[in-house]
Amino acid sequence: MKSEDGKIPESPLRREVIEVDEKNKKILVVDDEEGICLTLKQIFSLRNYNVNTASNLTDARNFIRKEKCDLIITDLKLRGERGEDLLKFVRAEYPETGVIVMTGYAEVKNAVECIKAGASDYVPKPFDMDEILRVVERFFKTQQLEKKVSSLSDIVGLYQITLAIGRIKPLNEVLELILQTAEEQVGADGGSITLWNEDEKVLVVTIARGKDSEKALGSRIRLGERVCGWAAQKRESVIVHEELNKDARFRNEKAYNGVKSGISAPMILQNKLIGTLNLKRMKTDNKFTQNDLERAFVLAQIAALAISNSKIYEKMTELSELKTKFLSNVTHELRTPLTAIKGGADLYEKLENNESGRIKIMRIIKNNTARMLVLVKDLLDVSEIERDKIKLIKDETDICLCLVNAIAAVKHKADEKNIRIKYKTGAPVLTLCDSVRMEQVFINILDNAVKFSPAGSAVEARVSVSDEKAR
């Protein structure tokens, strides 16, 4: 695209990468020569950098702990001290802060070793003012580029999890993708995901990666317990390091074996706790940073949605299976009263001159018709099916009478195989139950007994009371 003057406009992205906002950049100069500190402070201040100085490592460390520095420029040789020690401190505690070392020509070899140890660049002494400015500006431009690359990497990771949400994979696959992506995003070499168990009121380690992951699986953690329990209870993301007892929040907690640095971020959806995303570094001394924590927090919130969707998917699948089983059971149970009604109707025609027999047959037909109405109602009541809950109408019922009715319902089947159903009527056994459902249970039991018994045999039914329970 061309502008009105015919020139191709400069890319906003390129302009953003090239330009550096010096006003927001904080530099610490560490040198035991006061003249060098003052000179560098003046030079960088003219470029609108925020500059502070320190003459020894103790002052430098104290300042770094209090103030967030973007860049530290340190001499390799200080009175009785080594600039390499400051480099190690910064790399371990503040890995996002850059370090440029100043060195004499005779110490270039040491400077190269510092680069290998993590220094961003080095400047030989005596230095040219323009050269040191170029080195500093190059560092900040490189830092911006790295942030953009990191940001793009974040977007890719978020995109992968978003795809998982769209695809609604099984929960174990979603958890695996979330943990793998999170580890890649923050440079972790292990981690875990806990899910909140509402019934037990605990976090359960559902998936784990890295060293000792097998031991962690299935662990149950109460709210406020350990680091992830604290994060879940407070609903705050947290960074911890290997000396856990030095952190006032976890003074009474035992340090994790071999963990140099850790992150725990709560997964929250609509103010509801889903679980926690936990990441660790065991193979490197580099500690997690605030940027890592922010990435983990964003990933945890997206993960909460992915996990919730996956759980809904699994619940829907489970309900679908329950519906199928329910319909299969109802279809099976419909056959029994239908067969009883048909058999009763056939027998009714044969008992033309037997009024008492016909009355008994009509009672059987009526009972089975009522049973069919209940089954049809259950079949049509979709809302009850979806909740996997069928209403029971409980009354004081003589289960002996239920058994007698059930025997009458399957008698025609038994007669066809010349099977005798033996039952001795006794005293009523009263219990609180749904009489129709209880008859269905007895019919199913007797129907199977008749079905799988050889012709000409006998089936015995008994009702007894033991420990105040009917058997």
The answer to whether residue 32 scores a pLDDT higher than 80 is: yes
| Identity at 392, one-letter amino acid code | L
Strands 71-75 and 98-104, how do they pair?
parallel
Check residue 162 and give its pLDDT: 67
Tokens 């009785």 belong to which residue?
A: 80
142, 207, 205, 217: which is closest to 178 by C-alpha? 207
The share of the chain scoring above pLDDT 70, in percent, equals: 83
**Please, what CATH class does the domain formed by 149-308 belong to?**
alpha beta
Identify the pLDDT of residue 115: 80
3-state class (DSSP) for residue 300: helix
Average pLDDT over the chain reads 81
CATH 3.30.565.10 fits 392-471, yes or no: yes
pLDDT recorded at residue 434: 83
pLDDT digits (tens, 9 = 90+) for 343-366: 777 777 777 778 787 888 788 787
What is the CATH topology of the domain spanning 12-147?
Rossmann fold (3.40.50)
Domain ranges across the chain = 12-147, 149-308, 392-471
Residue in 343, 389, 348 with CA at minimum distance from that of residue 368: 343
Helix (H, G, I), strand (E, B) or coil at 342: helix
Q: Quote the pTM value.
A: 0.51
Of the ranges 138-142, 311-315, 370-374, 382-386, which is most confident? 138-142
The CA distances from residue 452 to 167, 195, 218, 430, in Å, are: 47, 47, 44, 30
Average pLDDT over residues 396-415: 86
Q: What pLDDT is recorded for position 366?
A: 78
Which segment of 6-15, 86-95, 292-301 scores lowest on mean pLDDT?
Answer: 6-15
**Cα-based angle 120, 126, 131 (whole degrees, multiple of 5):** 50
pLDDT at residue 380, rounded to an integer:
62
Query: Could you count the other beta carbons within 10 Å of the beta carbon of residue 245?
Result: 11
One-letter identity of residue 412: H
Q: Which of 189, 241, 177 is nearest to 213 (CA)?
A: 189
pLDDT in tens, 153-203: 666 766 766 666 556 578 888 888 889 888 988 889 999 999 999 999 999
- Residue 210's contacts (CB-CB under 8 Å, 6 or more residues apart) are 188, 189, 190, 191, 280, 282
Average pLDDT over residues 215-227: 90
Band of pLDDT at residue 253, cut at 50, 70 and 90: confident
Residue 382 has pLDDT above 80, yes or no: no
Judging by beta carbons within 10 Å of its beta carbon (0-12, 13-18, 19+), is residue 340 exposed, middle or buried? buried
- pLDDT digit string, tens, across residues 275-317: 999 999 988 878 888 888 888 888 898 888 888 888 887 788 7
pLDDT at 8: 36
pLDDT digits (tens, 9 = 90+) for 433-455: 888 778 878 888 888 898 899 99
Exposure of 259 in the CB half-sphere (CA atoms within 13 A) = 26
Give φ, ψ of 434 to 5 degrees: -90, 110
Which pLDDT value is given to residue 187? Answer: 87
* Model pLDDT, residue 12: 33
Give, in degrees to the nearest 5, the angle at Cα 133 between 60 and 107: 60
| H-only helix segments in 387-466 | 399-416, 435-452
Mean pLDDT of 49-59: 91
